[in-house]
Amino acid sequence: MIKYTIQRILLAVLIIVCAVATMFIMIHAVPGDPVNVMLGPRATPEIKEALRARLHLDQPITTQLFYFFRGLLMGDFGYDLRSNRPVLDIILEQFPHTLILVTSALIVSTIGIPVGRYAAIHRNGTFDRIVGTISVSIIAMPAIVVGLYMLLFFSVELRWFPVIGAGDKNDWLDYLWHLTLPVITISIAWIGYISRIVRASMIEVLSQNHVRMARAFGLPESKVINRYALRIAVLPSITMLGVSVALILSSTVIVEIIFSRPGIGSLLYESVLSRNYPLVMGAVLFSTIFIVAGTTIADLVNAAIDPRLRKEKD
Amino acid sequence: MSGNKMIRKIESVSMRLVTAFILSFVFLTGTINIVRSDELNVRLGEDFTTLDPAFWQSGADLTMINVLFPKLIEFKSGSDWEYELQAAESIEQVDELTIKFTLKPGLMWTDGYGEVTTEDVKYSYERYIDPELASPIIGDWLPLKEVEIVDKYSGIIHLKEPFAPIWWSTLPYSSGAIVSKKATEEAGGKFTTDPGATAGAYKIESWTPREKTVLVPHDGWNGPEVGFDKITIYPIQEPKSAEIAFEAGEIDITEISIGSVPNYRESLPAGGVLDVRPTADYTFLGINIANEKLSDVRVRQAIKMAIDIDAILQGAYFGVPEQASGLVAPGLVGYTGIMPGARDVQGAKALLDDAGVSNLSLELDVLNTAEFITAAQIIQANLGEIGINLQINQLDSGAFWNVAADRKEDLQLTLNNYTSPPDPSWSTQWFLRDQKGIWNWVWLDSEDFDNLHFAALKETDMNKRSDMYVDMQKVMDESGGFLFIMHPPSVIIYRDTINPGLYPNGGLKLTDFKAN
Amino acid sequence: MSSGKREQVEIRRTNRIKSLFGKLLGDPMGAIGVLIVASFLIIALFADVIAPYEPNKIDILNKLQGPSLDHLVGTDQLGRDTLSRLIHGTQIALLVAAISIGLAVLIGSVLGAIAGYGPTWLDFIIMLIFDTMRSYPVIMFALAVVVLFGPSLTTIIIIIMATSFPTYGRLMRTQTQTLRKSEYILSAQALGISTPRILLRHILPNTIGPILIVASMDVPFVIALEAGLSFLGLGVRPPTPSWGSILNDGFTYIRNSPWILFSAGAPLILVTIGFTFLGEQLRDVLDPKISKDR
């Protein structure tokens, strides 16, 4: 297991390096001069040239990439082209908003667990059929439509929820209030998904021998379900969520834009549009680390449960 | 923790969270719309990024600079471009090259940086012409020779040559802002988001990037009393979100999109005031003279004739603005008032035939905002009628503002909006020959135009100056490279509990905001 | 193979397809899925006939009209009929989905088969490519590519293809790895049948089922991504109607004309439900054991 863990972590680092390097090369090939971003329209060509040299923008892309990674190793993520503040500071300001959004969405998604459990126990009953249909319908529901509909109905028409920003950090009620619609937007698909997975694996587990044995020994049904079946059935959905961090982060970009929330997603969107390269790279680096960490942890958890997976890799 | 307990925990936490959501919503729907009268909530289109007057970029930067730094003279809020004394007790143009000023005593910098003195004024203005500073807006002070210090409060600005715009786009605009010599030198001669010391009516109490900025009154301010104990500024990019936030009571004043004007004119939210005012900005279709397909002036004229400006004004701008007569907006030096001829499809076709052009395919580069894309689609339909096949390239702002640098003479049509302070020299400078491919996207190449521009800068007789700008607009019209559409109005909505200080172009002058 | 045998195979295949459809339609969920997907296909194919108006016809005088008998879901800011634009938007949505998923399946399968069948080092490199692509949030990758190539239909197809081929690649690789150890393939190898031939004739047919299921479930994601990019103004060129750009118009006029936003969301929701139902049912019919890769 230790050997596998080390291998897996090394691979994760390699993936991050590849992903970041690819993105770096791609955005530096983008038309649009960052020097114009920094200096605005009225700068003279000489001023622009000097700045270009200072940022190594006149060097070949490989050299720029080298400077970038060297900077990262020394903890230097670069500076925002416009405000000249350290990229790391800006990312660390924005990241908590995204992190809270994502974790809240994950927590709310766990509503799917009791729903799936109930559906599995009352298999093929009315509840199961209704929930089954609904959960399949919402599995792939695009965040963009859900978000816009939420905004239209609850903010614009009914005025129940605020439309802008993340609220006051020192006032948790206000913060939660601002969080509600974005969290629902993201988690709605996952509630459906988790309830499906939990239901399917519950049904599988309930038909297994040791569960049947437990029943035969006269254990109360609720104990059988909660102690044996649910425990096993929940694991696939938890690891599933680890793998799905990429998808969740993707929807946070849209959600942060629709609800004018601060966060990595909206930061990334704005900085891509303004060709603010250092900020784009910072946001890419952070999201990539976040995603790769998610998949790696999910893999390790899976491997810990199911030793066969380890062997395949070794 | 056993798996069982963990699951129970997850279940109970999630149930608690849902309850919290419901509760919080019940609580808070009861408590919204409570806005204290001594607090002001303002929306700007973006967060500020540079507070240094020598490096500012966005409208948010400008709004912040105007409230944080004092100027000798400052534009009045209201509907006419007039200046008033701010930090100066008196200011006087002695001759074409000399301006004398005296500061009001007692204006203090924040954070113990002492009093605002002539020393600070000298430093603030002379730093522009220091090549080491490399300010992109060096042009505002290019004719400056020096600022002579007479005593602690009075000084003399010496110019190398006459400079008419100094009273319009330099002293009362961003480049007239006075920064603290000591604080700025400590910061290394320039700064971005932390000026060290400010001396405007308000000072920054806290700044949460991309979320909000809180301003409080500066007790070292010696100007008129300020209106609010606290101003909170929210950066909200999407105008639609800002409108919704206004209606929900989250903000007290915001600029809104032109498209919302008809609706607001019909029914304003309770306690709302709509304010539509003209600006000197100009929206125009640029037709690149240097492009191979557009080199024939008849083709350019045909394009201009074929476009239905009225449909654009109705469709994209909801009939709010009037058609523009040229570069210069009504009420400003050099306004011509001569409207181009009406749409003439047959005439346009005839011109194309005359030029021997058929099956023309062109590209229109345009910013991907709702108004521009709508206008572009009308132009596309209009040009289709005279047999020109138009492809619309919708670009994000980063790509759009670099499109001329990237494509050079391959650039064909562009739909553009340039901002402008109330002096035409700021606008004519973009169409000089040395601006080709930088801001002159039409590749206008006219020696007459260049000569007139520089002559007008030095001309202090207003009538003569006006004639020069009229002549320059004639050159632009004859080139066939410009189809001026309108001067986009600035549209603002605010609560009737406040009395906003607005520059004539709708810009926020936070210093003058008062509670009603 | 004699012609008689080939006919038998053909018949068996038709029967299989027939029974597949039978099973799909037998379940209400599957039937709804098939019905919705078929309806959208018909709408896309016959958009010109079905749409009551020309989708790009500008009529400024009738802009931002509410729903009426003339315009069932109203008009947009240029007076264009929203319903007609939505109907024509179906073409873009399905076209993007078909081409990009098709290409993703093709590239993914080839790479996945090579990874599963080839030497370990090649497997490692290909898996690294897959993992790298999967470590970006799709929208983020899309933003970077759009600013690189400029917004257009081709760009969107490239983005979707690039972000979804790893899913098919991984699927193909797993299937190939499982199959290559099966006696069936080992005996084919012993008979001296060439590797490409084994892959094409024996491995590929066995993976079509799982790929079809994943592809069907993928369609809603792809359509939502196209809509998302068009919503951000980074999608297809105007005046081409796309659900995303209509959503954007709807967002712009969310106060004046909420029905634009409302009606532009509806086809997205329907298409999502249709393809998800179809995918779920396909899974039940074809292969109850396959795990979801999403």
Residue-wise pLDDT for A163-220, tens only, equals 777 777 777 788 888 888 999 999 998 888 888 888 888 887 777 777 777 777 777 7
**B237 pLDDT higher than 50:** yes
Return d(Cα B498, Cα B40) in angstroms, integer: 8
Examine the domain organization and report whether B496 and B395 are in the same domain.
no
- Give yes or no for B311 touching C (CB within 8 A): yes
Return d(Cα C47, Cα C253) in angstroms, integer: 26
- Over the stretch B287-336, which tens digit does the pLDDT of each residue have? 999 999 999 999 999 999 999 999 999 889 988 999 999 999 988 889 99
CATH of the domain at B498: 3.40.190.10
Question: A70: distance to nearest CA of chain B, Å?
Answer: 26
The verdict on residue B266 lying in a domain is no
The verdict on residue B506 lying in a domain is yes
What is chain C's length? Answer: 294
Examine the domain organization and report whether B456 and B511 are in the same domain.
no
A145 with C147: Cβ contact below 8 A: no
The number of distinct structural domains making up chain C is 1
The contacts of residue C40 (CB under 8 Å, 6+ apart) are C90, C94, C267, C270, C271, C274
**pLDDT greater at residue A265 or residue B178:** B178
A253 with C254: Cβ contact below 8 A: no
Question: A188: distance to nearest CA of chain C, Å?
Answer: 13
Say what the pLDDT of residue A140 is: 80
Token digits for C24?
A: 């799909």
Domain coordinates in residue numbering, chain A: 2-31+77-313
Collapse the DSSP code of B339 into the 3-class scheme (helix H, G, I; strand E, B; otherwise coil) and give the result. Answer: coil
- Give yes or no for B255 touching C (CB within 8 A): no
Token digits for B66?
A: 């105007």
**C229 pLDDT higher than 60:** yes
**pLDDT greater at residue A220 or residue B215:** B215
> Are the beta carbons of C30 and C23 closer than 8 angstroms?
yes
Token digits for A174?
A: 């206000």
CATH of the domain at B321: 3.10.105.10
The shortest CB-CB distance from B380 to any of C151, C239, C252 is to C239
Examine the domain organization and report whether B339 and B208 are in the same domain.
no
Inter-chain Cβ pairs, chain A and chain C, closer than 8 A: 139
Residue with tokens 């700025």: B184
Return d(Cα B365, Cα B412) in angstroms, integer: 8
b/e burial code for range B340-372 (CB count within 10 A of at least 16 → b): beebeeebbbebbeebebeebebbbbbbbbbbb
Return d(Cα A70, Cα A89) in angstroms, integer: 19
Token digits for C78?
A: 């240029």
What's the average model confidence in pLDDT over A148-152? 88
CATH of the domain at C193: 1.10.3720.10
Say what the pLDDT of residue A38 is: 65
Residue with tokens 């999201």: A287
Token digits for B466?
A: 């006006």
**C128 pLDDT higher than 70:** yes
Examine the domain organization and report whether B452 and B496 are in the same domain.
no
Examine the domain organization and report whether B429 and B496 are in the same domain.
no
pTM: 0.82
Least confident of A91-95, B360-364, C88-92, C237-241: C237-241
B211 with A166: Cβ contact below 8 A: yes
Range of the domain at C243: 3-293
Residue C48's CB: how many other CB atoms inside 10 A? 12
Return d(Cα C256, Cα B257) in angstroms, integer: 12
Q: Which helix (H) or strand (E) holds B244?
A: helix B239-247
Examine the domain organization and report whether B56 and B175 are in the same domain.
yes
Question: What average pLDDT does chain B have?
Answer: 88
What's the average model confidence in pLDDT over A233-260? 81
Contacts of C217 in chain A (CB under 8 A): 140
- Over the stretch B157-179, which tens digit does the pLDDT of each residue have? 999 999 988 998 899 999 999 99
Question: A196: distance to nearest CA of chain C, Å?
Answer: 11
Question: From the centroid of its chain, how far is CA B285?
Answer: 19
Contacts of A174 in chain B (CB under 8 A): 28
Range of the domain at B201: 3-231+490-515
B209 with A93: Cβ contact below 8 A: yes
Examine the domain organization and report whether B507 and B450 are in the same domain.
no
The shortest CB-CB distance from A39 to any of B136, B212, B247 is to B136
Touching subunits of C (3+ CB pairs, under 8 Å) are A, B
Confidence of residue B378 (pLDDT cuts 50, 70, 90): very high
B7 with A230: Cβ contact below 8 A: yes
Question: A13: distance to nearest CA of chain B, Å?
Answer: 31
- Give yes or no for B368 touching A (CB within 8 A): no
ipTM above 0.95, yes or no: no
Contacts of A165 in chain B (CB under 8 A): 211-212, 234, 236
Examine the domain organization and report whether B192 and B310 are in the same domain.
no
Confidence of residue B12 (pLDDT cuts 50, 70, 90): low
- Over the stretch A272-290, which tens digit does the pLDDT of each residue have? 877 788 888 899 888 899 8
Least confident of A153-157, C167-171, C268-272: A153-157
Examine the domain organization and report whether B399 and B494 are in the same domain.
no
Least confident of A85-99, A139-153, B255-269, C174-188: C174-188
Q: How is domain A2-31+77-313 classified at the architecture level of CATH?
A: Orthogonal Bundle (1.10)
The number of distinct structural domains making up chain B is 2
Task: Report H helices in chain C.
Answer: 3-26, 28-45, 47-50, 82-117, 120-134, 138-149, 153-180, 183-190, 195-197, 204-231, 243-252, 258-286
The verdict on residue B114 lying in a domain is yes
A144 with C228: Cβ contact below 8 A: yes
The shortest CB-CB distance from C238 to any of B315, B376, B396 is to B376
Least confident of B17-21, B205-209, B485-489: B17-21
Examine the domain organization and report whether B333 and B360 are in the same domain.
yes
> Are the beta carbons of B487 and B336 closer than 8 angstroms?
no
C140 with A268: Cβ contact below 8 A: yes
Return d(Cα C223, Cα C265) in angstroms, integer: 12
Most C CBs within 10 A among B371, B396, B407, B415, hence the mutation to make, goes to B396
- Give yes or no for B315 touching C (CB within 8 A): yes
b/e burial code for range C51-68 (CB count within 10 A of at least 16 → b): bebebbebebebbbbebe
Examine the domain organization and report whether B291 and B164 are in the same domain.
no
- Give yes or no for C238 touching B (CB within 8 A): yes
Say what the pLDDT of residue B30 is: 42
> Are the beta carbons of A104 and A179 closer than 8 angstroms?
yes
The verdict on residue B97 lying in a domain is yes
Say what the pLDDT of residue B32 is: 44
Alpha carbon distance, N-terminus to C-terminus of chain C: 41
Which residues share a beta bridge with B83? B75
Cis upstream peptide for C239 (omega within 30°): yes
Token digits for C260?
A: 């634009």
Residue with tokens 């507070």: B51
Question: B240: distance to nearest CA of chain C, Å?
Answer: 6
The verdict on residue B162 lying in a domain is yes
Say what the pLDDT of residue C126 is: 92
* Amino acid residing at B156: I
Confidence of residue B440 (pLDDT cuts 50, 70, 90): very high
**pLDDT greater at residue B251 or residue C21:** B251
Contacts of C240 in chain B (CB under 8 A): none
The verdict on residue B337 lying in a domain is yes
